[in-house]
Amino acid sequence: MTEVGSDFGSADERLAALGYQPELIRTRSTWHVAFMSFVLASIPYGLTTTMYYSIANGGPVTVIWGWAAVSFFTLCVAISLAEIVSVFPCAGGVYYQTFMLSPPSYRKILSYICGWSFFVGNVTITLAVNFGTSLLWVACIQLFSADYLTETYQVYLIFVGVTLLCSAISTFGNRYLHILDTFAIFWTFAGTIAIVVVILALARNGRRSASYAFGHFEQGTSGWPAGWSFFVGLLQAAYASSSTGMIVSMCEEVAHPETQVPKAMVGTIGLNFICGMLFMIPLMFVLPNIADLLALPSGQPVPAILLSAVGGNAGGAFGLMVPILVLSILCGTGCTTAATRCTWAFARDGAIPGSKLWAKVNKTFDLPLNSMIFVTIVQLLLGLIYFGSPAAFNAFGGVGVVCLGLSYMVPIAVSFARGRSHVKRGKFYCGIIGTIANIVAIGWTILAIPLFCFPTLNHPTAQSMNYASVVFAFSIAASAAWYFVWGRKYYDGPPVDTDPSLAAAGIVRPTTEEEFAAIREKADKKI
| Lowest mean pLDDT across 241-250, 279-288, 330-339 | 241-250
- C-beta of residue 163 within 8 angstroms of C-beta of residue 379: yes
Q: Which amino acid appears at position 218 of this protein?
A: E
Helix, strand, coil distribution of the chain in percent, nearest 5: 70, 0, 25
Distance between CA atoms of 27 and 334, rounded to whole angstroms?
15
Q: Return the ∠ at Cα 401 (arms to 398 and 402), rounded to 5°.
A: 85
The reported pLDDT for the residue numbered 362 is 92
The yes-or-no verdict on residue 501 having pLDDT over 90 is: no
Among 520, 521, 522, 517, which Cα is nearest to 501's? Answer: 522
Average pLDDT over residues 141-152: 86
- Please give the average per-residue pLDDT across 444-461, as a whole number: 86
Q: pLDDT of 279-311, one tens digit each?
A: 999 999 999 999 999 988 888 999 999 999 999
H-type alpha helices, 349-391: 355-358, 369-382
Q: What is the reported pLDDT for 2?
A: 33
The yes-or-no verdict on residue 392 having pLDDT over 80 is: no
Q: Is the pLDDT of residue 116 over 50?
A: yes
Give CA–CA dist 202/314, Å, rounded. 14
> In angstroms, how far is CA 137 from the centroid of its own chain?
22
Per-residue confidence at 503, pLDDT binned at 50, 70, 90? very low
SS3 362: strand
Q: Count other C-beta atoms under 10 Å from residue 330's C-beta.
A: 23
Higher pLDDT, 36 or 374: 374
What pairs with residue 37 in β-bridges? Answer: none
Task: Give domain 8-131+177-293+351-495's CATH number out of 1.25.40, 1.20.1530, 1.20.1740, 3.30.310.
Answer: 1.20.1740
Q: Give the Cα separation of 185 and 267 in Å (integer).
A: 14
Q: Would you state the pLDDT for residue 508?
A: 40
The proportion of the chain whose per-residue pLDDT surpasses 70, expressed as a percent, equals: 90
Give the integer Cα–Cα distance in Å for 121 and 119: 5
pTM, entire model: 0.88
Q: Please choose, from the candidates 346, 404, 352, 414, the residue with its C-alpha nearest in 3D space to the C-alpha of residue 100.
A: 414
Q: Do 254 and 260 form a contact (C-beta atoms < 8 A)? A: yes
CA distance 216 to 195: 23
Amino acid, res. 376 = T
Q: What is the pLDDT of residue 290?
A: 93
Helices (H), 18-151: 30-41, 45-49, 51-56, 60-85, 93-101, 107-144
DSSP letters, 465-510, are --THHHHHHHHHHHHHHHIIIIIHHH---S-SS-SHHHHHTT----
- Predicted confidence at residue 145, as pLDDT, reads 85
Instruction: Report the distance separating Cα 212 and Cα 72, nearest Å.
Output: 23
pLDDT at 349: 86
Report which secondary-structure segment, H or E, holds 299: none
Residue 177: alpha-carbon gap to chain centroid: 18
| Rounded distance between C-alpha atoms, residue 218 and residue 230, angstroms | 10
Q: How far apart are CA 411 and CA 420, in angstroms?
A: 11
The residues with which 367 forms a beta bridge, in sequence order, are 362
Under 8 Å CB-to-CB from 281, ≥6 apart: which residues? 64, 213, 214
∠117-122-123 over CA atoms, to 5°?
A: 100
Asked if 70 contacts 237 with a C-beta cutoff of 8 angstroms, the reply is yes
The answer to whether the Cα torsion of 180, 181, 186, 191 is positive or negative is positive
Residue 26: name the closest of 5, 52, 41, 56 by CA. Answer: 5
209 Cβ neighbours under 8 A, 6+ residues apart: none
CB-based burial label for 365 (10 Å; 0-12, 13-18, 19+): middle
Tell me what the mean pLDDT of segment 432-442 comes to.
97
The DSSP-derived string for 158-223 is HHHHHHHHHHHHHHHTGGGHHHHHHHHHHHHHHHHHHHHHHHHHH-TT----HHHHHH---TTSSS
Domain borders along the chain are: 8-131+177-293+351-495
What is the predicted pLDDT for the residue at 366?
Answer: 87
190, exposed or middle or buried, with CB in 10 Å at 0-12, 13-18, 19+? exposed
Q: Which pLDDT belongs to residue 299?
A: 87
